Amino acid sequence: MVTHPVLVIGAGVAGLTAAVELADSGVQTVLIERNSTVGGNALDLYKAFPTDDCFYCFEGNRWRPGIRKCFYRSALLDQPNLTLKINTTLKEVTGEPGKFKVVLSIGPRYVDPVKCIMCGICMEHSKAFSLISPQCQPQAVVYNPDKADEGVARAVEECPTKAIDIEAQPSEETINVSDIIVATGYHEMQPVNVDEYGYGRIPNVITQLELARMLDPNGITGGVLTRPSDGERVKSVLMIQCVGSRDEKYYPYCSKICCIFALKHANIIALERENVSVNIVYMDIRTYDRYERYYREAREAGVNFIRGRVQRVKPSENGGIEAIVYDSLLNRYLKFDTDLFVLSSALEAPKGSEEIIKALGLRESNGFVAPADLETEENVVVGDHVYACGTALGPAEVPESVTQARAVVSKILQSRM
């Protein structure tokens, strides 16, 4: 009878699903997360396809009590088999498959999430304290020592529950685990090197994830589309697909979900925001899986699709952006005056995944984790007692990540029978 816990690396959609379902099945589970909150990239999404709902609310999770938006929270708080460790990374793995000895580096716990009541007093006194998201889990403010100012001492003093300890130190912990699940997710490429798009040089050039944050009613602009340069209302948006994807200079693969999330954003803008026109420049629209309806809806909503590429982008006199686009269907060049230029940037392996792949001796493909045996259909098996799910295996949609996480859970439960 195996009694060692299972280690899950990464608390995004895939990692959370795997951890919660293992714990629910009676398996001790340790879930580690590099950041200060769970949720991963999905935390920044206003709506996730294909349900246009909060990312975790898919059929199968709905039995859990709690408000509909945050089923996973109650599991993280109440499930005794699940231990969540935030600000934690994998330092070292020794031992043998089935009996791994894992060293975790745990970041300093400046704010005790059990004591924090998120009253916000500390945030009033110092910029070093912030709330990452109203949906964050653990539900606690985060302290950033790099931003420490004179207000910190007062914040510590006035904290009604004495939850703050700015002297906290990082620590290490060694645990024995039977299986390891890699759910390290993806990172959206920062396309600073793609000269023609001016990202990083022109303020109104943003990426799709930055747009998602802007569309989020809980975000900085309260869901209003404004130009980052001057805060003016956005009247037109130009999107460009395949930035860094299907490009031998960056990533040769198709990032698989950019078309759908661009269409999702285009539909939100065209249907939920008043008088904003949307143009999408593409080479191919690929609505992977069953999502052709997003494309159809976008066309019906009046979104303009231009097959071609962008010739040049420069700031315009009225504070927006002037973009010249080559329309390959018409064999003509079109000049757009737009407020936001949104890049559908490639999804790449996140920082640190190289080290994890090396530490666990896994196969690699374009920076992502590759299945141990490419001949089988068991994509989630990446090593002996080592599994991967979600975008750690390459770009994937939310339902796919959830399905893979469940496949991993099923594999582990079968191995323990």
Partner 1 sequence: MAETKDKIDPPVTLVEPIDMSRLDSSFRKEIQSMPDGNELNACFACSTCTAACPIANQWTYKPHQLIRMILLGMREEVLSSKEIWECLTCFQCQERCPQNVRVTDILFDCKNLAAEEGKVPDSIKGLAKELIEKGQLYVITADWEREDLDLEPEVPGMSTDEFREILKATRTGKIVGGE
If the CB atoms of residues 35 and 207 are measured against partner 1, the closer one turns out to be 207
Q: Given the structure tokens 């039995």, which residue do they identify?
A: 63
Is-contact 27 239, C-beta < 8 A? no
Q: Which two tokens stand for residue 251?
A: 């990533």
Contacts of 141 (CB under 8 A, 6+ apart): 111, 116, 118, 120, 122, 123, 129, 130, 131
If the CB atoms of residues 335 and 358 are measured against partner 1, the closer one turns out to be 335
Shortest gap between Cβ of 190 and partner 1 (angstroms)?
Answer: 6
Contacts of 11 (CB under 8 A, 6+ apart): 19, 31, 32, 33, 38, 39, 40, 84, 86, 183
Instruction: Provide φ and ψ at 332, rounded to 5°.
Output: -135, 160
What is the distance between the alpha carbons of residues 136 and 84, in angstroms, rounded to a whole number? 13
If the CB atoms of residues 233 and 333 are measured against partner 1, the closer one turns out to be 333
Is-contact 133 43, C-beta < 8 A? yes
CA distances from 41 to 89, 205, 376 (A): 17, 20, 29
If the CB atoms of residues 114 and 330 are measured against partner 1, the closer one turns out to be 330
Shortest gap between Cβ of 275 and partner 1 (angstroms)?
Answer: 12
Is-contact 294 265, C-beta < 8 A? no
If the CB atoms of residues 235 and 406 are measured against partner 1, the closer one turns out to be 235
DSSP E strands in 135-251: the ranges are: 142-143, 171-177, 179-182, 187-188, 205-207, 236-243
If the CB atoms of residues 66 and 228 are measured against partner 1, the closer one turns out to be 228
Shortest gap between Cβ of 300 and partner 1 (angstroms)?
Answer: 5
Shortest gap between Cβ of 413 and partner 1 (angstroms)?
Answer: 43
What is the distance between the alpha carbons of residues 55 and 43, in angstroms, rounded to a whole number? 8
If the CB atoms of residues 186 and 199 are measured against partner 1, the closer one turns out to be 199
Contacts of 137 (CB under 8 A, 6+ apart): 37, 38, 39, 70, 72, 73, 76, 84
If the CB atoms of residues 184 and 279 are measured against partner 1, the closer one turns out to be 279
Shortest gap between Cβ of 238 and partner 1 (angstroms)?
Answer: 10
Contacts with partner 1, residue ranges (CB under 8 A): 190, 192, 195-196, 198-201, 203, 206, 210, 228, 277, 285, 295-296, 299-300, 302, 304-307, 311-312, 314, 324-325, 327, 329-330, 332-337
Shortest gap between Cβ of 234 and partner 1 (angstroms)?
Answer: 14
Shortest gap between Cβ of 308 and partner 1 (angstroms)?
Answer: 11
Across the strands, what pairs with 48? 53
Shortest gap between Cβ of 352 and partner 1 (angstroms)?
Answer: 19
